[in-house]
Amino acid sequence: MARTPRNTLSPELIVRTALEVMESRGTDAFSLRGVAAELGVGPMALYTYFRNKDELYDAVRDHLMGLLPAVPGDAAWPDQVRTVCRSLRLLMLQHPCLAQLLAGRPLSGHETARVAEGLLGVLRAAGFDAETAARTHTTLFTYVLGSTSWEIQMAAERRDPEAWRRLRATMESLSARDFPSVVELAPELARTTGGDEQFDYGLDLLLAGLQLRTPA
Amino acid sequence: MARTPRNTLSPELIVRTALEVMESRGTDAFSLRGVAAELGVGPMALYTYFRNKDELYDAVRDHLMGLLPAVPGDAAWPDQVRTVCRSLRLLMLQHPCLAQLLAGRPLSGHETARVAEGLLGVLRAAGFDAETAARTHTTLFTYVLGSTSWEIQMAAERRDPEAWRRLRATMESLSARDFPSVVELAPELARTTGGDEQFDYGLDLLLAGLQLRTPA
DNA sequence: CGTTCATAACGTACAGTGTATAGTACGGTG
DNA sequence: CACCGTACTATACACTGTACGTTATGAACG
């Protein structure tokens, strides 16, 4: 009985396939069994290469982080920072699963470290001390992660008619007397759940605040 | 055979119990069956009050949002904004499940709207136009959500020795030649994954940037 | 009081999940 | 050729959310 030949699998192949499954079937519908089936292999075969589902997640995350371009060396530091943040956001939009992969687990992995190195290097070169550089890195990272995750999530929900209906219902149940601002700004709020402008608005606030602290 | 008496359940009781289960057993281990068992009832009994798990999630989220205090009326607007953001963060730290409840679903619900109303009201009163108020609201919300979720997540991982070991391993595999900043700033990075100072640092950057745009 | 009836809670069942454990056949090495 | 590590398989378990159909209860009404 012709079994599966011996060395068909590899960590890289599994990661690539896992990514494909996440992108085609959606992150929530992702399962080890799905990946295994796609590879024409039993579910347990994956455990030869990854100890559990979380380790596979980490590998996929690091793989995606490897797609980030290097920081451009020939620009003023605020522009460099902007570029790094924008490319991370772009990558998250291109690969929506990345949002969940980043949010759920600590940042282990070589490629992930490379990205951190890029941003930290820029900040150190700009003259910020160790503590401020680290704080700024965390702040920027959590801003990008939070705002882009939110954007992705909302875009996904907008496609679900049931969720949309429920949100509409809540909105319309609000009296203009008790909730004047929410009712008045409803269209603006709907418009500002995502998009480049919204992202840049917050990023510019952070950068403006940061430039006030520019070291001598 | 003495069945469960008739009107033992109610949406409020279920929400309270669900919250207890999340807090005691952890958000990930939460399940409808667990809640039902805690109530001494079959799993399907919950479906009389909630159409599915997500609706129960929404109800718990809105219940938690109801715990937020009103915005203090007697302060300068930047302080009011700071207070709102801080109390949301505090609530998330007190109820770690709130992070996941906020991140995963759109903001429906009465209490949730009340919180939005508070922040938007402050911004409108400060003189910001509709668009800027909405953008600022989204920016602040995603910052609080992103940074606090990250903080909670990291705190949870730190308790898992396996995750800790893996992160250490990654760190120590980095050569000081290729990753000078990461290696140098490792202690600072570890220290800035959370805490009041870290949160306030980012919040102050945003507020500083925002004050540069203070309307006349 | 007796009857009716909507419905709250039940039990069963299904299609999934991650993964522990044990078994099997292949490929490279002695 | 014999051996052994290992890449993969098979089976099984304890879960999950929830669709479906049933049953008993408490209130309303004649």
The tens digit of pLDDT for each residue in B16-61 reads: 999 999 999 999 999 999 999 999 999 999 999 999 999 999 999 9
Contact B193, B151 (CB under 8 A): yes
| Dist. CA A75–CA A55, nearest whole Å | 37
* CA nearest to A97, candidates A135, A33, A148: A148
Alpha-carbon distances, residue A32 vs A15, A40, A62, A65, B186 (angstroms): 11, 12, 18, 21, 34
Residue ranges matching CATH 1.10.10.60 in chain A: 11-64
C-beta atoms of B181 and A117 within 8 A: yes
Position B4 scores a pLDDT of 59
| Dist. CA A57–CA A59, nearest whole Å | 5
Evaluate if residue A38 carries a pLDDT over 90. Answer: yes
Tokens of B41: 């009832």
Confidence of residue B213 (pLDDT cuts 50, 70, 90): very high
pLDDT tens across B82-139, in order?
999 999 999 999 999 999 999 988 888 999 999 999 999 999 999 999 999 999 999 9
Confidence of residue A4 (pLDDT cuts 50, 70, 90): low
Evaluate if residue A3 carries a pLDDT over 60. Answer: no
Nucleotide nearest to B36 (CA to C1'): C9
Higher pLDDT, B107 or B203: B203
User: How many CB atoms neighbour CB A166 within 10 A?
Assistant: 19
Q: Is the CB of B68 under 7 A from strand C?
A: no
Whether B9 has its CB under 8 Å from any CB of chain A: the answer is: no
Contact A133, B198 (CB under 8 A): no
Which class does domain B72-211 fall in? mainly alpha
Residue ranges matching CATH 1.10.357.10 in chain A: 73-211
Separation of A33 CA and C26 C1' (Å): 24
| Dist. CA A182–CA A49, nearest whole Å | 51
Position A1 scores a pLDDT of 41
Tokens of B8: 């033992």
CB contact set of B16 (below 8 Å; sequence gap of 6+)? B63
Q: In degrees, to the nearest 5, what angle opens at C-alpha A78 toward C-alphas A72 and A81?
A: 55
Whether B91 has its CB under 8 Å from any CB of chain A: the answer is: no
Evaluate if residue B216 carries a pLDDT over 80. Answer: no
Position B3 scores a pLDDT of 52
What is the third-level CATH fold of B11-50?
Arc Repressor Mutant, subunit A (1.10.10)
Q: In degrees, to the nearest 5, what angle opens at C-alpha B161 toward C-alphas B156 and B164?
A: 75
Position B18 scores a pLDDT of 97
Position A5 scores a pLDDT of 65
Position B31 scores a pLDDT of 96
Q: Strand D proximity: list residues 32-91 of B with CB under 7 Å.
A: 32-34, 43-44, 47, 52-54
CATH superfamily of A73-211: Tetracycline Repressor, domain 2 (1.10.357.10)
pLDDT tens across A116-146, in order?
999 999 999 999 999 999 999 999 999 999 9
Residue from B51, B119, B124, B135 whose CB has the most chain A CBs within 10 Å, to mutate: B135
CATH code for residues A11-64? 1.10.10.60
Contact B65, B109 (CB under 8 A): yes
Position B105 scores a pLDDT of 87
Sole residue written with tokens 């068909």: A8
Residue ranges matching CATH 1.10.357.10 in chain B: 72-211
DSSP assignment letter at A54: H
Separation of B165 CA and C27 C1' (Å): 34
Query: For B152-174, what is the mean pLDDT?
Result: 86
Q: Is the CB of A31 under 7 A from strand D?
A: no
| Dist. CA A52–CA A50, nearest whole Å | 5
Position B6 scores a pLDDT of 65
Contact B86, B35 (CB under 8 A): no
Alpha-carbon distances, residue B113 vs A143, B61, B117 (angstroms): 22, 12, 6
Higher pLDDT, B215 or B27: B27
Tokens of B44: 């399907």
**Secondary element (H or E) of residue A98:** helix A97-104
pLDDT tens across B72-98, in order?
999 999 999 999 999 999 999 999 999
Tokens of B122: 């402050």
Separation of A10 CA and D1 C1' (Å): 31
